[in-house]
């Protein structure tokens, strides 16, 4: 039996800034060449666990540890960040915080330069790695000018050039479109096979990680290890869902149909799950028994976009000839590959950028000549990271800030802020500092600061990025409540679950153009569109095909409608 390359023994850790420990009595052994997935709800301690492995704890984030932790033969808490970095390569959740070079090529080459690799050899390695992560044409681009997915691939490339024994990935899929996410998981597998490195992945998107096999899944909750098991064993039980981790949708569908999930079925991977003929008949019976929900009546058009074209640089375009309309009270997903023009479209609708050609109408009026302030009376924009939007230390002041530029009296402002805080579930915290809130609560503050202006349309960029299933559901149910109250919601997202579960309609972009304007289910059940826009066919579609159900699109829609009703009644 080989010695563990990572070994926690009765390990605990408490940050100096915290009153209580974050980790308690951790006992975990990871062996050379293993691929281990660490999952857990937000705040469970899994990121702290990762920071202990790569040395950020305690060298960058001071605190006190108990027990022992050995990494690649080193006494990690008493080693050094430099020593550990020679054994552990890390891809952070936020790639912006990891860039060093002024260009992609310089950033990838950084570790090679430190190791004094000769110039010709360095260029060869950088080009080889850049080609593997599809960045060969971006070597002279600035990393910060790239899309979120491209940034993540730069970070991956920077790790790949280092000959380390342990590769640690902290939510590598957070900013990636579904197809690129699949490619990333494939890339991680290819790196491991080539280098025989030990791989540790921390990620919320369980079903996406299980696109390729992992040896074990470690479930962390409340600073403790709740489970350390083979994927088949863990997915056959209830622990994941009980701790706020979304199970793969095909398993939820099988459970709705009354199929008993056992480890012997190999349920962790859809391509290996063993379904009996009786299981398939149960799924068919459930499908025929569930009725498709009625669609709501159409309302008047609120937003109309006509032939919109825009480019950030002369001679280039980032969005070409986009035309669509959104009706009052709709909830619409904007999806597509990284760099397809989704965020550019949002900026144009909000008035942050001026189109080269085309027009935007709100309530039938051309708003092309409006100022950003005038446009903000109709459209509110919520960024992915709430910390980039918040400018006041206190919650009340942050929510009231936009109203200070209006003609409202102090009494009217107070009434408007109170009403908005109550709608957003923040009224009990109205006198709190923003710094005391969780990430999800900060997200609500940013939504409240937009909602208080009474916009007819709210555009959200990745509203659930980095959230566990519990917090994801909280945010989305809150947004659905706003939508039911009459607010039209547009969401830029890479989350196919979100698109299916909460939005009937999807606008799909690829290569600067709008490819599809129709139902979310249609978007995910057309193979050519899925490939063109870097989407991902839902596992429900594949399950329907396994069970011989036609049309598979109808099965997917019925599951979505049924699952929504179940969650509403919980």
pLDDT at 570: 67
CA distance 96 to 142: 11
* Cα distance from N-terminal residue to C-terminal residue, the chain: 47
In the chain, what is the greatest distance between 2 CA atoms, to the nearest angstrom?
74
Q: Residues 448-497: pLDDT tens digits?
A: 999 999 999 999 998 887 677 777 788 888 888 888 888 999 999 988 88
What distance in Å separates the CA atoms of residue 230 and residue 219, rounded to the nearest whole number? Answer: 11
Q: The tokens of 311 are what?
A: 């480019």
DSSP 433: B
What is the average pLDDT across 3-11? 97
Tell me what pLDDT residue 218 has: 97
Pairing of strands 35-39, 198-202: parallel
Least Cα distance to 93 among 151, 135, 39 occurs for 151
Confidence (pLDDT) at 78:
94
Q: Is the dihedral of CA 217, 30, 79, 189 positive or negative?
A: negative
pTM above 0.85, yes or no: no
pLDDT exceeds cutoff 90 at 171 = no
Instruction: Report residue 46 as tokens.
Output: 């899994």
DSSP string, 309-342: EE-SSTT--SEEEEEEEEETT-EEEEEESTTSSH
Q: 325 phi and psi, to 5 degrees?
A: -135, 150
- What tens digit of pLDDT does each residue of 286-324 get? 999 987 777 767 889 999 999 999 998 888 899 999 999
Which among 167, 166, 157, 168 is positioned nearest to 110, based on CA atoms? 157
Strand ordering across the sheet containing 23-30? 23-30, 6-15, 63-71, 74-75
Separation between Cα atoms, residue 117 and residue 161, nearest integer Å: 11
pLDDT score for 149: 66
Residue 40 CA neighbour count, 13 Å, CB half: 25
pLDDT digits (tens, 9 = 90+) for 12-47: 999 987 889 999 999 999 999 999 999 998 778 998
- The two tokens of residue 499 are 């698109």
Please give the mean pLDDT across all residues of the chain. Answer: 89
Phi, psi for residue 484 in degrees, rounded to 5 = -65, -25
Bridge-based pairing state of the strands 331-336 and 505-510: parallel
């Amino acid at each position: 039996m080989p010695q563990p390359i990572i070994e926690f023994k009765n390990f605990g850790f408490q940050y100096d800034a915290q009153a209580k420990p974050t980790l308690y009595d951790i006992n975990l052994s990871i062996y050379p060449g293993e691929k281990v997935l660490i999952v857990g709800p937000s705040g469970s301690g899994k990121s702290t666990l990762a920071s202990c492995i790569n040395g950020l704890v305690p060298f960058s984030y001071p605190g006190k540890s108990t027990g022992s932790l050995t990494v690649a033969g080193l006494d990690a808490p008493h080693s050094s960040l430099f020593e550990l970095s020679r054994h552990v390569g890390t891809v952070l959740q936020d790639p912006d915080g990891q860039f060093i070079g002024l260009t992609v090529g310089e950033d990838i080459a950084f570790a090679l330069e430190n190791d004094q690799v000769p110039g010709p050899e360095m260029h060869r390695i950088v080009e080889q790695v850049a080609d593997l992560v599809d960045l060969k044409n971006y070597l002279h681009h600035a990393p910060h000018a790239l899309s979120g997915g491209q940034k993540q691939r730069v970070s991956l490339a920077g790790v790949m050039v280092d000959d380390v024994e342990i590769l640690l990935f902290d939510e590598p899929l957070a900013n990636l479109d579904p197809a690129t996410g699949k490619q990333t998981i494939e890339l991680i597998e290819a790196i491991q096979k080539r280098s025989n490195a030990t791989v540790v992945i921390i990620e919320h998107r369980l079903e996406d990680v299980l696109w390729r096999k992992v040896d074990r899944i470690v479930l962390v909750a409340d600073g403790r290890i709740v489970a350390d098991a083979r994927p088949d064993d863990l997915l056959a039980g209830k622990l994941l869902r009980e701790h706020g981790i979304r199970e793969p949708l095909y398993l939820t569908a099988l459970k709705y149909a009354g199929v008993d999930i056992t480890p012997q079925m190999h349920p962790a991977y859809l391509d290996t799950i063993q379904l009996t003929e009786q299981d398939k008949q149960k799924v068919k019976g459930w499908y025929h028994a569930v009725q498709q929900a009625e669609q709501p009546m159409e309302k008047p058009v609120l937003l109309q976009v006509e032939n919109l074209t825009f480019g950030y640089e002369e001679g280039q375009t980032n969005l070409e000839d986009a035309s669509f309309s959104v009706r009052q009270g709709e909830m619409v997903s904007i999806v597509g590959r990284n760099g397809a023009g989704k965020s550019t479209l949002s900026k144009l609708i909000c008035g942050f950028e001026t189109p080269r050609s085309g027009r935007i109408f709100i309530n039938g009026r051309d708003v092309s000549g409006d100022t950003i302030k005038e446009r903000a009376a109709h459209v509110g924009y919520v960024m992915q990271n709430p910390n980039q939007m918040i400018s006041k230390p206190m919650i009340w002041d942050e929510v009231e800030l936009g109203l200070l530029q209006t003609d409202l009296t102090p009494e009217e402002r107070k009434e408007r802020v109170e009403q908005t805080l109550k709608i957003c579930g923040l009224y009990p915290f109205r006198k709190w500092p923003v710094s005391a809130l969780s990430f999800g609560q900060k997200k609500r503050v940013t939504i409240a600061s937009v909602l208080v202006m009474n916009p007819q349309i709210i555009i959200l960029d990745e509203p659930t990025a980095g959230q566990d299933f519990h917090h994801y559901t909280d945010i989305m149910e809150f947004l659905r409540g706003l939508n039911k109250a009459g607010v039209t919601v547009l969401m830029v997202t890479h989350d196919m679950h979100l698109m299916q579960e909460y939005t009937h309609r999807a606008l799909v972009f690829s290569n600067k153009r709008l490819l599809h304007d129709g139902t979310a289910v249609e978007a995910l059940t057309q193979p050519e569109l899925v490939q063109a826009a870097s989407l991902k066919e839902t596992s429900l579609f594949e399950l329907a095909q396994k069970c011989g159900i036609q049309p598979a699109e109808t099965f997917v829609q019925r599951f979505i409608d049924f699952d929504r009703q179940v969650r509403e009644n919980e």
